[in-house]
Amino acid sequence: MMCENCGKRPATVHYTQIINGVKTEMHLCEVCAKQKGTIEFDAPFSVTNFLAGFLEPAFGAQIIKPAFETQITCKGCGMTFEEFKRSGRFGCAMCYNSFSEKLYPILRRIHGNTKHVGKIPTKMGENLAIKREIDRLKIELNVAIKNEEFEKAAEIRDKIRELEKKLSRE
Amino acid sequence: MDDVVVTSRIRLARNLSDVPFTIKMNDYDAGLVIDRVRDVISKNSQYRFDFYEIRKLPFLKRQVLIEKHLISPALVSSKIKSAVAIDQNENISIMINEEDHLRIQVLYRGQNIQKAWEDANRIDDFLEEQLPYAYDETWGYLTSCPTNVGTGLRASFMLHLPALTLLGYMKEIIETITKLGIAVRGFYGEGSEVLGNLYQISNQITLGQPEEDIIANVVSITNQIIEQERQARLKLLNESSSFIADKVYRAYGILKYARNISSNEALKLISDVRMGISMGIIKETTIDKLDVLLNLIQPAILQDYFGKEMTPEERDIKRAELIRKILE
């Protein structure tokens, strides 16, 4: 068999890729294989294609989308939602918030879930604990005000301010 | 060594919050990420890492790293600057600027997933202390592809399943475990072919379950497959012992005496002999030796072993020579 790229030398590097049962083969000579580094395939079925499928309405009904909907753009990297649909990849950390509304149904269909319950980074963990403490103190503050315990309320207010300062420093 | 589990692997996908993800990155950003990560890794006192910029590596060395499963083909074909840090025991690799800024990978031989997870988690903690991770309270670790978001965790086993394959059970098993959120892949991961009856199985879901549960799920399904493979080997041994004995001894004979052998043929034969050892048929060699061969017969590792570039024809001769030497 001759090299599929140059057609001059015998093919000695054989790549086979199987995605969802569809087999793609490439036969190259060493020289062409080296030039290419590794071979990139046009995968017939990639995660990207399937992601695009996730975004379509479930029962095949073509819904005409209002123009504004197709023009959501990430403020962080300028990626449009259309771009994400094509590549299946986000451009930056902010994309998750920029596209959050559209993301929930996608994540539900991929993972059956939309909420992370795993590891919390230590740094982030401290902040989370502070935020939870602030929420708790705010409830306590309201109770104190209701009961007209103003000295206690002032104390709680100071605690909240202190914690908020700590948060903004982080 | 393990009769069914060849390797256990944990991978964590991580990104920095203050740089675009790799799909939107230019070479300048990519270089900065590499420098920052290299700087942090060099401060680590627990492990000693060697650092390689992929573009600066010769073709052969890149292929060796792929064949050793230390880097992915995607890292090599990356359009931007990419790099990898590899610990001296070659169990841990940290890929930089693959699909995500960071891919922490720990790989051990045999059934060692817990140890792999502990190492990966420790390295993750260390990196997180000094790098601003992209993390969200709701969505967890933010990854380039939404299929990895949450824990960013992939737990996988490379399983040797010759008996289930021979008996034609694999199609059904794959269909069943896919429904349970488990992916089945070939020898070199996503999109690669099943070679030598080696199957890679891993979790697909990364969001909505804690890391320990995800790992436990893959372990539990793996244990069931291991049990089925052992049953299948027994079945073969009981019902077709002379056929199996002939098959595995033929494979052993070819490996021991061949003068010219391709990597694909060698893989198939090693698979047969490996099964023969676990069934107690072949006592002349060990699974450990076969697992060493499994690595060494691959084209780039073979050339690296002999310290020179070879044509495919030269390789087939040298491969046969090396196999004979190890099986002696």
Query: Of B149-158, B164-173, B180-189, which has the strongest mean pLDDT?
Result: B149-158
Mean pLDDT, rounded, for B14-25: 96
Contacts of B146 in chain A (CB under 8 A): 51, 88, 90, 103, 106-107, 110
Contact (CB<8Å) A111/B23: no
B:235-294 residues touching chain A, CB 8 A cutoff = none
**HSE (side-chain half, CA atoms, 13 Å) at B83:** 18
pLDDT tier, A13 (very low <50, low <70, confident <90, very high otherwise): confident
Torsion of CA A101, A88, B28, A38, to 10 degrees: 170
Instruction: Please indicate whether, in this complex, the C-beta atoms of A123 and B17 are within 8 angstroms of each other.
Output: no
Q: Distance (Å, rounded) from C-alpha B34 to C-alpha B81?
A: 8
pLDDT of residue A19: 59
User: Would you say B120 and B108 are in contact if contact means Cβ atoms under 8 Å apart?
Assistant: no
pLDDT, one tens digit per residue, over A100-125 is: 988 999 999 999 988 998 898 887 77
Query: Higher-confidence residue: B56 or A27?
Result: B56
- Partnered with residue B199 across adjacent β-strands are B159
Nearest-angstrom CA–CA distance, A98 and B1: 50
* Residue in A91, A117, A118 closest to B23 by CB: A91
Pairing state of beta strands B153-160 and B198-203? antiparallel
- Confidence tier at B39 by pLDDT (50, 70, 90): very high
- Dist CA B287 CA B279 (whole Å): 11
Measured between beta carbons, which residues in chain A are less than 8 angstroms from residue B209? 113, 117-118
Residues of B in contact with A27 (CB under 8 A): none
- Residues 6 or more apart from B253 whose CB is under 8 A from it? none
Asked if the Cβ–Cβ distance from A79 to B24 is below 8 Å, we say yes
Its pTM stands at: 0.81
pLDDT band at A44 (very low <50, low <70, confident <90, very high): very low
Find the closest chain A residue to B315 by CA distance. Answer: A12
The distance between the two most distant Cα atoms of chain B, rounded to a whole number of Å, is 64
Say what percent of chain B tops pLDDT 90. 91
Length of chain B in terms of residues written: 328
Rounded Cα distance, B130 and B328, in Å: 51
Which token pair is B148?
């990895």
**Number of Cβ atoms within 10 Å of the Cβ of B289:** 18
Interface contact A117, partner B, CB < 8 A: yes
Residue B110, annotated as binding a ligand: no
| pLDDT for B49 beyond 50 | yes
Question: Looking at the predicted structure, is the pLDDT value of residue A39 above 60?
Answer: no
Which pLDDT does position A8 carry in this prediction? 84
Interface of B with A in 196-215 (CB under 8 A): 205-211, 214
Model pLDDT for residues B116-145, shown as the tens digit of each residue: 999 999 999 999 999 999 999 899 999 999
HEC letters along chain B:
CCCCEEEEEEEEEECECCCCCHHHCCHHHHHHHHHHHHHHHHCCCCCCEEEEEHHHCCHHHHHHHHHCCCCCHHHHCCCCCCEEEEECCCCEEEEECCCCCEEEEEEEECCCHHHHHHHHHHHHHHHHHHCCECEECCCEECCCCCCCCECCEEEEEEEECHHHHHCCCHHHHHHHHHHCCEEEEECCECCECCECCEEEEEECCCCCCCHHHHHHHHHHHHHHHHHHHHHHHHHHHHHCHHHHHHHHHHHHHHHHHCCCCCHHHHHHHHHHHHHHHHCCCCCCCCHHHHHHHHHHCCHHHHHHHHCCCCCHHHHHHHHHHHHHHHHC
For residue B140, the chain A residues in CB contact (below 8 A) are 116, 118-119
Reply yes or no on whether the pLDDT at B315 is more than 70.
Answer: yes
Taking all residues of chain A, what is their mean pLDDT, rounded to a whole number? Answer: 78
Q: Is B8 annotated as ligand-binding?
A: yes
pLDDT top residue among B92 and A139? B92
Q: What pLDDT shows up at residue A62?
A: 47
Evaluate if residue B15 carries a pLDDT over 80.
yes
